[in-house]
Amino acid sequence: MKEERILLAHGSGGKLSHRLISDIFVPAFKSPLLSPLNDQAIFDSPCSRMAFTTDSYVISPIFFPGGDIGKLSVCGTVNDLAMGGAKPLYLSAAFIIEEGMLISELKDVVSSMARTAEDAGVEIVTGDTKVVERGKGDRIYINTAGVGVIEDGVELTPANIRPGDKVIVSGTMGDHGMAVMARRADMQMEIPVESDCAPLNGLVEAMLASGGEVRAMRDATRGGLATILNEFASSSGTSISIVEDAVPVRESVRGACEILGFDPLYIANEGKLVAVVSSSSADVVLAAMKEHPLGKDAAIIGEVTEGPKGRVLLETPVGNKRVLDMLTGDQLPRIC
């Protein structure tokens, strides 16, 4: 492309719009379902049960340690499908670009999306582009939608959770949120904090293939671990008790949280999941997770109990227990 920055004309539907699509999006995503450039993608479904999701990404800044808005948009949608036990197949991608954004930055975002989609084994097959006036956006927003297939016999839902089940996290908590906040605050950390942004479908496949009885799982994004546990307890009509010392948190993340006044249990992750599994399956599922690169720091952190319905309790290092409630507001805005 000859232009260095996005112009309003790039969203007009004319020659510049077509050049933006043909020069940037089509070469990056390289899908035979996308190349006809129709307003839809038509494909065969290999399964009768399907999952569908959509999400929008408005993170600021758009580039952060360990990722960017493009990588995040693919990971977030892939992970939402995977948490239902689906194998993600196809994604759409819609871009709202602010006039004046550097073409080089857009290329970096799109290239990141393409690499992440390839890593996750999904195709970006349809999409849309709009351009808004300077000052009406924040460089770029992305909306993605995704579809996937669910094999027979896979049924992941909080309604399956039972007293006695174990709670497992796939790794350290709070990495993504603190990486973004450290960048916003221009913090110089002795040990840099990086986002954990990653597609989790491979890890989920390994967990389901272990033969263990997985009841439910969620990726711990906005609101972090504490929010997911409260959602599980409320939806299943059970109580959940976790041990604070059992929750893995990187020292750099813990340090950043102390400086900025945050609790890592409420901080967003973009490459970690929380799973509830039957007590008899906990060890086999945990072993399968640890064999996968994204689950090497997995840990059992607590269990489901018959206590007051919908309540989550945290056992502190000194042996006391306190209620781990859901946040009433947004602790970290524009985090995804």
The pLDDT of residue 329 is 66
pLDDT of residue 133: 97
Q: Chunk the chain into consecutive blocks of 10 residues (it has 336) and report each block's average pLDDT, rounded to whole numbers.
A: 86 82 92 81 78 95 96 98 96 98 98 98 96 96 96 93 98 96 80 92 98 96 93 96 98 91 94 98 98 98 94 95 83 84
Residue 1 maps to a domain: no
Cβ atoms of 95 and 128 closer than 8 Å = yes
Spell out the residues 6+ positions from residue 333 whose beta carbon is closer than 8 angstroms to its own: none
Rg of the chain over Cα atoms, rounded to whole angstroms, equals 21
My answer on whether 195 and 133 are in the same domain is no
Contacts of 320 (CB under 8 A, 6+ apart): none
Are 139 and 185 in a shared domain?
Answer: no
pLDDT the model gives residue 264: 95
46 and 109 part of one domain: yes
Q: Judge if 188 and 99 occupy the same domain.
A: no
330 lies in some domain: no
Which of 149, 181, 206 lies at the terminal end of a domain, its last residue?
149
Asked if residue 12 is part of any domain, the answer here is yes
Write down the pLDDT at residue 43. 75
Tokens standing for residue 70: 């493009």
The number of domains in the chain is 2
Which of residues 127, 149, 171 is at a domain's end?
149
CATH value at residue 310: 3.90.650.10
Q: Is 69 left (phi over 0), alpha (psi -120 to 50) or beta?
A: alpha
Same-domain pairing of 207 and 307: yes
Among candidates 318, 283, 325, which has minimal Cα distance to 300?
A: 283
The domain of 121 spans: 8-149
What pLDDT does residue 185 have? 82
Predicted local confidence at residue 127, as pLDDT: 95
What local confidence, expressed as pLDDT, does residue 330 receive?
Answer: 62
SS3 176: helix
133, 38: one domain: yes
Say whether both 14 and 140 belong to one domain.
yes
pLDDT at residue 170 in the model: 98
Q: Are residues 125 and 165 in the same domain?
A: no
